[in-house]
Structure 1
Amino acid sequence: MSRPAPSPIYTLRGAGGPLNSLHFSCHGSDTPLLYSGSGKGAIHVWNLNSRRAEKIVEGHSGSSVIWVSTLQTTDTLISQGRDMQVCLWDLSEGRNEVVDSVWTGSVGFCQCSLLETSSGTFLLAFAGQQTEEIKIIELPSKSPVCTLMPDEKLGMVMCLQMWQPDSGRRPLLLAGYEDGSLLLWDVTQGSKLSQAKAHPETVMCLTLDTKRLRGISGSSDKKLSSWMMDSQNNLQLQDCVTLVNPGVSQLCIREDGKLLASAGWDHRVRIFGWKKLRPLAVLQYHADMVLSVAFSDHQDPRKRLLAAGSKDQRISLWSIYNEEANSG
């Protein structure tokens, strides 16, 4: 590497538990925010200007919060806990009220996926009560859309991502399973489009570049597996990246499609050029497993941040490769 690995520009402390999920909301507001979900059941709303928690909300009865997100068009926060509940929060005008909830029945760690449709409603995908089951409902009506269940035994669904390929086209969903398989689903038809065995071990995480229809998944082993979808919606395995140490909790591709970040069980965050999967940096700060990574959605590229949340109860914030560097 041509330059030494950077240090975090600052850290956020006081979450009071492992940081399972991070979500930025820096778009169109004077106050850039970072939402975090902790293993102790608290959701912190961090003001990135003051670098302090602006609000702390608890709505999962002390159960671990495994996913947080926001609805883009409203002041609504959505959170998922190990209490089998997905909660919708009204955070407008100083409020912090749970206005609705969805019971998932799932005891696993699979994070939900949220998709805003063209009609202004939302689709929510989550692991269901049965081992391999994925349920998709429409919000706010909570009307069921479909249940996705593979024909064969693949073990628990571990991770999923839903997206709409082009305007007017049907939503698709990609899921990773306990046996190392990836399945691509047509949400509207409730049918499987293709399948690939990406890992010998459990698929722990996946992320998809929806513009290029190319994605990458991580496992409990030492490999990241990249794959793509062809014009017929067939999953095709591509390159593998071999890591120094096994175990990846989460993967995240920056919005401009230039960088990939991985959250490692070995306490490190690794940065790769997304185009060629070239290793660019190893970020060492945390004293325990890194559980979550997220890139900010700042409109000004120079202000873009990477956040990493760890089992050590700290969030590190990094400013990396924001200049127009070649990050192949």
Structure 2
Amino acid sequence: MAHPAPSPIYCLRGAGGPLNTLHFCCRGTDAPLLFSGSAKGTIHMWNLNTRRPEETFEAHGGSSILWVRTLWSADSLISQGRDMQVCLWDLRGGSGQAVDSVFTGSFGFCQCSLIETDQTKSLLAFATEQSDEIKIIEIPSKTTVCSLVPETKLGMVMCLKLWQPDSGPGPLLLAGYEDGSLLLWNVTQRSELSQVKAHPEPVMCLTFDPQRLRGISGSAETKLSSWILDSQNNIQLQESVELVNPGVSQLCIRADGKLLASAGWDHRVRIFGWKKLRPLAVLQYHTDMVLSVAFSDPLDPRQRLLAAGSKDQRISLWSIYNEGAATG
């Protein structure tokens, strides 16, 4: 590596449980915020200037929080819990009360995926009580857009990524399944576009770069599988990235398309150059599995942060490769 691995710039404590999900909100607010969801059913809204929680929500009846995301210029928060509910929170009042909810019926750990279609509407994709089914609804109306079930048996839905291409008929959705398959769906036509076997074990996580039409996925094995979408929307497997230790909880690409972060079962966060998947750094701080990683996207690129949440109940924050470092 070109540089020694850095230390975290600071650590957030007091989440009260393993950190399953993290989400930055650095625009449209007075101070940069980090939202976290714990396995004890608590959502924290951390003020990154004071490094303290600005709000704490006891959510989902104490069930584990799987996923959080702000929407509509940070006026609202959406959360998903193991209580089979997706809840919508109004952040303007600070009351900590959910204003609406959707029953998913899902008993798994598959995180939702969301895209904002305009200033007031979004599309939300989630797994349902039928383990191989994905449902997509419009919110806040909760109107059903479609349900997607594979033609062949692929097992349980494990992970999702919904996005809107720059051109084409409408949203596309990537899904990872229990048998190790990746499947690309055309949401508008409710049709399967492409399928590939990316892993010998369940796909634990995936992320996708819509600008480069390139993605990467992880499982319980000692490798990451990278792939691209060709001009016909076929998933084409590319090179694999070998890992020292097995198991990846989450993958995240920085907004500038230069870095990839992986959350490892071996307590480590690994940083790769996204262009060539070159290993750049191994971040060692946590004493248990790293469950979540997230990059911030502030207006000033020099203030970008990486957050990592662990089973050890701590959130580490890192400032890495922010000023033109080579990251091939």
TM-score interval, normalised by the smaller of the two chains: over 0.9
In the TM superposition, residue 168 of structure 1 has moved relative to its aligned partner by 6.5
1:128 corresponds to: 128
Q: Residue 119 and residue 315 in structure 1: after superposition, are their counterparts in 2 closer, same or farther (change >3 A)?
A: closer
In the TM superposition, residue 36 of structure 1 has moved relative to its aligned partner by 0.2
1:277 corresponds to: 277
Which residue identity lines up with residue 56 of structure 2 in the other structure? I
With the length of structure 1 as denominator, give the TM-score of the two structures. 0.98
Does 1:327 pair with 2:327? yes
- Secondary structure of the structure 1 residue equivalent to 2:93: helix
2:186 corresponds to: 186
- Separation in structure 1 between the aligned mates of residue 326 and residue 72 of structure 2, nearest angstrom: 31
In the TM superposition, residue 29 of structure 1 has moved relative to its aligned partner by 2.6
2:162 corresponds to: 162
2:210 corresponds to: 210
Preserved contact between residue 25 and residue 74 of structure 2 (Cα < 8 Å) = no
- Secondary structure of the structure 2 residue equivalent to 1:203: coil
Q: How many residues align?
A: 328
Preserved contact between residue 223 and residue 246 of structure 2 (Cα < 8 Å) = yes
Aligned pairs for 1:1-328 (under 5 A) are: 1-118=1-118, 120-166=120-166, 169-328=169-328
CA-to-partner distance for each residue in 1:157-189, whole Å, 9 max, x for gaps?
A: 000000001166400000000000000000111
- Separation in structure 2 between the aligned mates of residue 81 and residue 184 of structure 1, nearest angstrom: 25
- Separation in structure 1 between the aligned mates of residue 8 and residue 231 of structure 2, nearest angstrom: 41
In the TM superposition, residue 111 of structure 1 has moved relative to its aligned partner by 0.2
CA-to-partner distance for each residue in 1:2-23, whole Å, 9 max, x for gaps?
A: 2210000000000000000000
Which structure 1 residue ranges, 5 or more long, are not aligned?
none
In the TM superposition, residue 96 of structure 1 has moved relative to its aligned partner by 2.0
- Separation in structure 1 between the aligned mates of residue 75 and residue 305 of structure 2, nearest angstrom: 22
The Cα RMSD (Å) is 1.0
- Separation in structure 1 between the aligned mates of residue 72 and residue 223 of structure 2, nearest angstrom: 34
- Separation in structure 2 between the aligned mates of residue 168 and residue 270 of structure 1, nearest angstrom: 35
CA-to-partner distance for each residue in 1:49-91, whole Å, 9 max, x for gaps?
A: 0001111101201100000001133510000000000000011
- Separation in structure 2 between the aligned mates of residue 155 and residue 174 of structure 1, nearest angstrom: 15
Which residue identity lines up with residue 10 of structure 1 in the other structure? Y
- Separation in structure 2 between the aligned mates of residue 220 and residue 279 of structure 1, nearest angstrom: 19
Which structure 2 residue ranges, 5 or more long, are not aligned?
none
- Separation in structure 2 between the aligned mates of residue 122 and residue 217 of structure 1, nearest angstrom: 25
Which residue identity lines up with residue 224 of structure 1 in the other structure? L
- Separation in structure 2 between the aligned mates of residue 121 and residue 53 of structure 1, nearest angstrom: 28
- Secondary structure of the structure 1 residue equivalent to 2:204: strand
- Secondary structure of the structure 2 residue equivalent to 1:93: coil
- Separation in structure 2 between the aligned mates of residue 192 and residue 263 of structure 1, nearest angstrom: 30
Identity %, equivalent residues: 76
- Separation in structure 2 between the aligned mates of residue 271 and residue 74 of structure 1, nearest angstrom: 28
- Separation in structure 2 between the aligned mates of residue 82 and residue 228 of structure 1, nearest angstrom: 32
Which residue identity lines up with residue 283 of structure 2 in the other structure? L
After TM superposition, which residue ranges in structure 1, 4 or more long, deviate above 3 angstroms?
Answer: none
In the TM superposition, residue 45 of structure 1 has moved relative to its aligned partner by 0.4
In the TM superposition, residue 297 of structure 1 has moved relative to its aligned partner by 1.5
In the TM superposition, residue 250 of structure 1 has moved relative to its aligned partner by 0.1
Which residue identity lines up with residue 229 of structure 1 in the other structure? L
